[in-house]
Amino acid sequence: MKKFLTILLTCATLGGYCQQETASVAISNDSKLTISKHIYGQFAEHLGHGVYGGFWVDKTLPVKKEGRIRLDVVDALKKIKIPNLRWPGGCFADEYHWRDGIGPSALRPRMVNTNWGGTTEDNSFGTHEFLELCKLLNTEPYVAGNVGSGTVDEMSKWIEYLNSNSSSSVAQLRKTNGHPEPYKVTFWGVGNESWGCGGNMTPEYYADLFKRYASFAKDYPGARLKKIASGPNSDDYNWTEVCMKNIPNWMMWGISLHYYTVPTGNWGHKGSATKFDEKEYFTTMVNCLKMEELVNKHSAIMDKYDPEKKVALVVDEWGVWTDAEPGTNPGFLYQQNSMRDALIAGTTLNIFNNHCDRVKMAALAQTVNVLQSLILTDKDKMLLTPTYHIFDLYKVHQDAKFLPIKLNTPEYKVDGKEIPAVNASASQDVAGRIHISFVNLDPNNSISVSTSFKNIKWTTATGQALTSANLTDINTFQKPNNIHITGFNGIKKDGDKLTVDLPSKSVVVIELQ
Is 450 in contact with 497 (CB distance < 8 Å)? yes
Q: Checking DSSP bridges between strand 84-87 and strand 485-487, what pairing results, if any? A: unpaired
* Helix or strand run (H / E) with residue 145: strand 140-145
Average confidence score pLDDT of the chain:
93
| Cα torsion angle, 284, 84, 434, 291, sign | positive
Q: Residue 177 CB: number of other CB atoms within 10 A?
A: 14
The pLDDT > 90 percentage for the chain reads: 84
Is residue 14 predicted with pLDDT exceeding 60?
no
Distance CA 276, CA 264 (A): 10
Contact criterion met (CB below 8 Å) for 18 and 469: no
Given a contact cutoff of 8 angstroms between Cβ atoms, the answer to whether 422 and 438 are in contact is yes
pLDDT reported for residue 15: 39
Nearest-10 Cα torsion for 50, 51, 52, 54: 60
Sign of CA dihedral 307, 260, 444, 426: positive
What's the rounded Cα separation, in Å, for the pair 502 and 506? 7
Write down the architecture of domain 5-32+403-512 according to CATH.
Sandwich (2.60)
pLDDT for 482 equals 96
Annotated catalytic residue 241: no
Per cent of the chain over pLDDT 70 is 96
Of the candidates 317, 411, 418, 511, the residue annotated as catalytic is 317
Q: What is the CATH number of domain 37-279+312-398?
A: 3.20.20.80
Question: Residue 260 and residue 232: Cα distance in Å, rounded?
Answer: 13
Cα–Cα dist 453/89, whole Å: 43
Domain ranges of the chain: 5-32+403-512, 37-279+312-398
CA-nearest of 349, 478, 357 to 425 is 349
Task: Give pLDDT, residue 19.
Answer: 57
pLDDT tier, 462 (very low <50, low <70, confident <90, very high otherwise): confident
278 is catalytic: no
Q: Would you place residue 308 in the very low, low, confident or very high pLDDT band (cuts 50, 70, 90)?
A: very high
Least confident among 33-37, 54-58, 243-247, 500-504: 500-504
Catalytic residue among 121, 140, 160, 193: 193
Task: Give mean pLDDT, residues 369-376.
Answer: 98
pLDDT digits (tens, 9 = 90+) for 21-79: 899 999 999 899 999 999 999 999 999 999 999 999 999 999 999 999 999 999 999 99
Tell me whether strands 422-428 and 434-440 are parallel, antiparallel or unpaired. antiparallel
- Average pLDDT, integer, range 69-93: 98
Q: Confidence band (pLDDT; 50, 70, 90) for 506? A: confident
Amino acid identity for residue 359 in this structure: V
Closest by CA position to 330, among listed 126, 47, 107: 47
Averaged over 223-232, what is the pLDDT?
Answer: 98
Q: How confident is the model at residue 255 (pLDDT cuts 50, 70, 90)?
A: very high
Strand, coil or helix: 316: strand
